[in-house]
Structures are given as structure tokens and as C-alpha cells.
Structure 1
């Protein structure tokens, strides 16, 4: 029976029509999801045990650790990239390209896993990730590095979906909850350790390139496990390749990837590469809009697709939609501090990349600890909704305090404010995966989880682009007004962290003005975090009302 909720303010005839549409959408989506996961079904006892099973699980969670690590490992490498490649205008793409590749492909990976042998699709994802890592490590210029980062995102999202799929298909229903928690924990640890490990490589004799080559080492170490021990699972045995391929929505993937790429290019090019009103910028915005509208229509009507890639029916469920936006808020609050807290310490206290990453530890420790504590409490008591309110309130408070900070704020206070954001983020970044399952039928759980996973990846791609554009454009404009005529053309170089030695040529008042301008523009990105916290509180309040209405109706 459907769990989609009705709009009780509509006339009875409209509610009946809506219910019929929802039922039709659910029925179609259930058919589309039936081969993509077995999470809602009983699984046979696993046939891998003992040390072999330990190696399999270790190999799988090592993949999610590397996936999380690569999302933030470039946070403290920015100045090094600018110094080595002398390409400031493309600085933001090192972080954005990874999430762009991941967000564009993660839903398509879900379809592929539902059609082809899970083990070999997973290995393809690993190979793509390792190829991207090799390209990044050997990159002779910034464009090659950006391409490698995008390939890492594509392959990494396939690895991540593969780990979740393999664990759900190779564990029994009783033990599944335990093992399905491991990928989230290791992903979180990798995500928050990224800036520290990246900073350490950036200033070591090994150089930043080994921040990417390390992926090849770990992949090579576990390669025998992937090839010989990971169980082979085919969701559609005895089906020919052509029939499987027809169920992949290639057009939907192309439209989604094209619209997302155009949007992020427009945000990142604006003000740095082109003027905001330049013809190239207007063209990018138009292309992004047209492709997105085409994607919406193609998904709604299923043009040229047996199974559309986006779970459209989920978007008609108001409760799932609320949870979807809550996940975008928590993902924003997870990734922005990883990039901008170290940047603050690099400018204010002239910290090295490694020490700036170490300054992120309070945020890291409290976020990971809160994820674990909240996950344990929810698994025991089953109450996930209060953590949305706790997380939203903490994030809003911490973001507001960081926004109000300046160059004279003590490090201890910055630690405290980052702890608030970290604890709040950790409280609800994984909760949407549990929450969405209460509002859909068991067979629709894979589609709902896929939607939340997409939100977790798409949100950082967009908000990091916005944050970088706000910071780089604002700081460049501010420094252009402060710097003497001989240094005005060095404004963006100073913003990147490479041209700090130029600041020593200024008077003491000039140096203070530059530092204040930098900190003031870093503070602006916390508006996104405050907005995320406030939006989480508002949406969670609406969700409470919907739950009460549902309980009253029952």
C-alpha cells in the first residue's frame, strides 16, 4: 500500500486524482527499482565467511574512505596548484569538478547496477577512479588536473553506489543494518581528514601529487580481493546485454550532466574569467536553463527511456521532498567548512597547509563523533526527527558566530564555533537515509535512497561553486581598492595565497586592511551555512505538522 500523503486541503475529487497519479507513479517506479537493489527483500545467507569476509568488508570500506578523502583533499592544496600551474582563474574547479562528475553520474550508476553484474560494474568504477587519480598525480597543467578530478568523481560515485549495493546483496537481513553503517562512517572520516592529509602532502618532499597516487597504492593492495573474493551478483541473470542496456536512460543522463555542467561553469566563470553580463555568460545560463527544462520534461514523460534515471515519483511526495532538501543543507554544512576554515587560518595566522588542516580537527572530531552517537541512538530508539532540529539549531548558531568573527577573534573561539557547526552537521547528515524510508513502500526504498545520495553530491557541487565565486570575486574587488597601483594586478594572486610576500611591501595599515578584507569575504560564505540551518528548522517544522496530520488521519 502506498505511503504517499494526500493534500487534505484539496477537494475530494482532486485528492482522488492525485492518489491515482501517485499510485501509477509508484507502480512504475517499483518496476524500475525491482532489479536495482535487494534491500527491501530477504537475502540468502552469505557464502563468504571468516577472514575472507573480513577482507571483503575491509576492501569495500577502504573504497568509501578514499571516496570521502578525495572530496576534500584539495582544500589545502589550492595555493600549491596556483604556484605550480600559474592558473588562478581556474582555481575553483579543483573542488567543483569532483562533485560535478559524481552528481552527474550517481543516478545512472544506480541504473547500471540494477541491470549488470554488480561485482564487475563495481570494478569498472574502481578502475575509473584510479585512472582519474593517476591523471591528477601526473597532471602537467591545471586543465589536466581538473579533467582528472572529474573522472575521479565519476568513478568514485560508482564505487560508492557499488559498496552500498554489494553490502545489501551479500548480507542477511539481520546483519545488514550493522554493515550498512560502515560506509557512512568511513566516508565521513575520509571527508574530514582530506584537508589534513592533503596539506601534509602539499608541504612535504613527496609533493601534492602523492595525495592522488596514494589511491593507486590502496587500490593495488586490495585488487586481489576485488577480483577473487568479492561475490559475483547478477540482478538479471539469463538476460541478454541489449535488453539490459535498453533500461539505461542515456538521454536523461546527458541532459542532467549538460545542465549541471553549464550551471557550474556559469557560476565559476562569472567575474573571474568573463564579466557577468558577457555574451558567453548569458549563453551558459541559457544553455543550463534549456537543458534543465528539457530534462524535466524528458523525465516526466519518459521520452526515449524505458526507465527514467531520476525518481520523479519521489518528488511528488512532500515528506520525501522535505527530507531531500534537509540533506542538501547538511551536505553544504559538511563541505564548506572543510575548505574555508583552513583558509581563515592561512590568512590570519599565516599557517602552513598542514597546520591549517590541523586547525580543522575540532570540526572533524565532533562531526564524526556526533554521526556515530546519533546513529547509535536512532538505531536503538528509532527517533530521528529531533536530530534535524538539533542539527539545524547548532549549524545556524555556529554559522552566525563564524559570520560575525574577524581577524581579532581568538583561535579558541573559532574552534568553539566550528564545533557547533560540526556537531550540528554530524547530527543529521546521515538521518535522511533513515527518514526517507518511513514515507515510501519497501520496494521504493532504493529509489528514495538514490535521491538522497544525489542530494548529498549535488549540493556541494553547487554551494562550493557559489561560495568560491562569492569569495574570489569579493576579495578581488576589495583588494583592488586597497592595493597600490603597482600591485592591483596581483590582487587575485594574493587571494589565492601565493602572493603573500607581496603584502610585506605594504605599510602596517595596508597589511591590516588586506587581512580584514580577506576575512570579511571568507565570512560571507557562512551565510550559506546560516541559511542551511534556518531552512532545516523550517522544513523540519513542516515535517512535524505532516506527521501529526498523518497520525490524526490514521
Structure 2
């Protein structure tokens, strides 16, 4: 239960980061401009996280784990507590520091990070900063494809690495259970990222909320999410049938996401709260259980790799979903706004600025008709983005139906 509580705290903190990023979007635009680069505000953290998860996971399996707690205290105040009170654990005392560094698949780690960063760049900037068919876009897609092929060959053929040391656990792809856990956990991460980022934006555009007010609107989601993360962590070792959690959770995500696809600028706040809560029930039920199930399904020597595998699924798809959602927001949003403003002879930069929020020239113009047109168009854009949540829920349901209907012993895993 302690691990579940710790994970819940981490999830809330990460969620708050995403929410804050959405809330300050208008202020960032006012200070710095460049509407086309706003998706990077929410994308930076998950992108950097997923790009370094596998190398960090390998490092955790080699070095004294206490050394990694240095990043927890904000200003070093809590550092003595973590260094002197947290138990020390050196998983490989037989190796020197030099040998431990040599055990990390640095080539694979660099290519892996490059793949994610390139994907985020090309998806985020295509259409808004440069055209999809521009030379820049084509070159980036080609380089991304080359890196993806290189990583596949390097890991599959064990080039400059070994079966034990390669950064990605390729043999996990032979396990139906682990692949389905990856897909389901990733879908939950994608749904969470979209709801946390775009719900505050919806309230800011349609209700005129301040950043603080918009953040408060997420409390129904966050509170319900925490409750069900902890409930799943407490009950799964007793029930044992993890596929049931994924099926029920997927249904709630699908229903909540489908209902979010129906909202518009006139939808009542209470209804949106309810749709948030339904999504939160599903996401909370399955957001963390993949770690315990993956560890239970993997061999003892593969436990650190199993945790890293699920980490990539969870945080990686948050980054991917935010990149895709940001591209939809910028491209579809601009198209809808341009169509809505047709005949007014407004410059494209002025129209696109409406996507920045209430501090943009469109919303500060004082023209009630223009503001209303912009609100309707942006609300429709965000409604389309919420279809990603419904799609994620559907994918979880399908994955759960393909999982083995088995009961596994998770008591040892849950107890640490």
C-alpha cells in the first residue's frame, strides 16, 4: 500500500505539472509570442522523461540507489534526510563504477532518445511552424525513420551491446501479456495527459476562467483519480485477475471520453465534472497496476527491465498523445478558425493567435462577435482532441479482452 501511495503522489505531481503548463499558456504567449510553439510548454517534461527512462532504469539496476535521491529535494534542504535515513541498496556490489557505466547500452540509449525527440519535433512543428510537405518536415521524417530502423537493427542484432545489456528488452515482445500491458498502460497515460492538459484550456476559453480557476476545475478528476489508484493497489493483490481491472477501467475511459466528445461552449460545468470523474475512475483503476503485473510476469532478473518497460508505456504515450493533441490543436484549430472568420479578411497570424487564449489579440479585441466565433471554433477543436481519450479507452477494452483470464499472486509484489 505504501508503494501505491507513493505512486499516487508522483502521479498527482506530474499531473499538476501538466495542468500548470496548460494554465499559463496565455501568459507565456503574451510574454514571448510564437503561438505555433506553445505545445512545447506541456510536452517538454514527458518528452525528456521518456527519452531518458531506459538509461535511468539501467542505471538503477547497477548503482547505489541512494545516489538518485539527490533530485528529490528542491533546494537541497531534504538531502541529508534521504542520504542518511533512506536505506542504501547497491544491486551490483561486485562491479566497479567503470564497469557499471560500461554495462549501459549507450549507443542504444542515444538512438532511442533521438527517436522520441525527433518524433515530438516533427509532429509538433509540422503545419504550424513549417508545412507538412516542406523540405524541413520531409527531412525530419526521413531522419526519424532512419533512426527507428537503426534502433530496431541495433537492438535486434545486438550491435555494440549484448542480450543482457541492451537498452530495450526485445524479448518482452514475445510475451503476449507484457505487450498487452504496455498497450493498456500506454492508453491510460495518453488519456490522462489529454484530460489534464485540455480540460483547463476548455474552461479558460469557454468560461473565461483565470489560470487558478481552470486548475480548480480539475479537482473532480484528480480526487477521483487518487481514490481509484489507491483502491486498485489495495484490491488487486486480493482479486488477482488483473484483466478485469483493465476491462472495467477501459469501459469507464471509453464512456468518459465519448461524453467529453459531446461538450461545447454551452455545456454545464456540472456535466463536464461528471465526464471528468468517469474518465478518472477508469484511468485510476489501471494507471499503476501494470508495474506490479509486469514484475509478476517477468523473471526475477528482468524485474528492473519490466518496470522500465511499463515506464516507457506510461510516460512515453503521455508525450506522444500531447504531441498529437498539440498538432490537432494548432492545425485543426487554425483551419476551423479560418473557416469561421472567412470573409473578414483577417491575417493568418491574427487568427492563429486565438489559440493562445484570453490574452491573445482576438480575445482582447473587445469585439463580442469575433470572440464568440473564436470560442465556438476552439471549443470544437478541443472536443475533437477528446476523441483521443475515447480511442484510448477502446484500445484498453480490446487489450483486456485479449489478456489471459488468469489469477496471479501479487501479494509479494505489492508488499515490496
TM-score by length of 2: 0.89
Q: Which residue of 2 aligns with 1:288?
A: 144
Question: Of 469, 478, 482, which aligns to 2:327?
Answer: 469
Aligned partners of 1:59 and 1:226 also within 8 Å: no
Question: Of 85, 88, 92, which aligns to 1:236?
Answer: 92
SS in 2 for 1:275: coil
Question: Of 204, 211, 233, which aligns to 1:353?
Answer: 211
CA distance in 2 between partners of 1:60 and 1:395 (Å): 20
Q: Displacement, 1:92?
A: 0.9
Matched, 1:82 2:29: yes
Cα deviations by residue, 1:47-80 (Å, 9 ceiling, x for unpaired) = xxxxxxx9xxx99998887556445431211111
**Worse overlay, 493-502 or 334-343:** 493-502
Matched, 1:450 2:308: yes
Question: Of 406, 415, 419, which aligns to 2:273?
Answer: 415
SS in 2 for 1:221: coil
C-alpha distance 89-510 of structure 1, shift in aligned 2 (>3 A): closer
C-alpha distance 220-475 of structure 1, shift in aligned 2 (>3 A): same
Question: Of 138, 152, 156, which aligns to 1:300?
Answer: 156
C-alpha distance 106-473 of structure 1, shift in aligned 2 (>3 A): same
CA distance in 1 between partners of 2:318 and 2:381 (Å): 19
SS in 2 for 1:404: coil
Matched, 1:426 2:284: yes
Q: Which residue of 2 aligns with 1:275?
A: 131
Question: Of 191, 196, 199, which aligns to 1:338?
Answer: 196
Aligned partners of 2:189 and 2:317 also within 8 Å: yes
Q: Which residue of 1 aligns with 2:299?
A: 441
Q: Which has the larger radius of gyration?
A: 1
Q: Which residue of 2 aligns with 1:520?
A: 380
Q: Which residue of 2 aligns with 1:529?
A: 389
Cα deviations by residue, 1:503-527 (Å, 9 ceiling, x for unpaired) = 4647654433221111100011111
Q: Which residue of 2 aligns with 1:198?
A: none
Aligned partners of 1:102 and 1:457 also within 8 Å: yes
SS in 1 for 2:159: coil
C-alpha distance 404-251 of structure 1, shift in aligned 2 (>3 A): same
Matched, 1:120 2:62: no
Q: Which residue of 2 aligns with 1:378?
A: 236
Q: Which residue of 2 aligns with 1:107?
A: 54
CA distance in 2 between partners of 1:121 and 1:360 (Å): 31
Q: Displacement, 1:457?
A: 1.1
Task: Quote the RMSD (CA, aligned, Å).
Answer: 2.5
Question: Of 347, 350, 355, which aligns to 1:495?
Answer: 355
C-alpha distance 533-441 of structure 1, shift in aligned 2 (>3 A): same
Q: Which residue of 2 aligns with 1:211?
A: none
**Worse overlay, 391-400 or 429-438:** 429-438
C-alpha distance 380-62 of structure 1, shift in aligned 2 (>3 A): closer
SS in 2 for 1:485: coil
Question: Of 86, 93, 114, which aligns to 1:258?
Answer: 114
Q: Give 1:122-271 correspondences, 5 Å limit.
A: 122-123=69-70, 126=71, 216=74, 219-271=75-127
Cα deviations by residue, 1:520-550 (Å, 9 ceiling, x for unpaired) = 00011111111111111111111146x59xx
CA distance in 2 between partners of 1:268 and 1:226 (Å): 38
CA distance in 2 between partners of 1:120 and 1:66 (Å): 22
Q: Displacement, 1:417?
A: 0.9
Q: Displacement, 1:111?
A: 1.2
Aligned residues: 400
Q: Note the residue ranges of structure 2 that are not aligned, 5 or more in a row.
A: 408-416
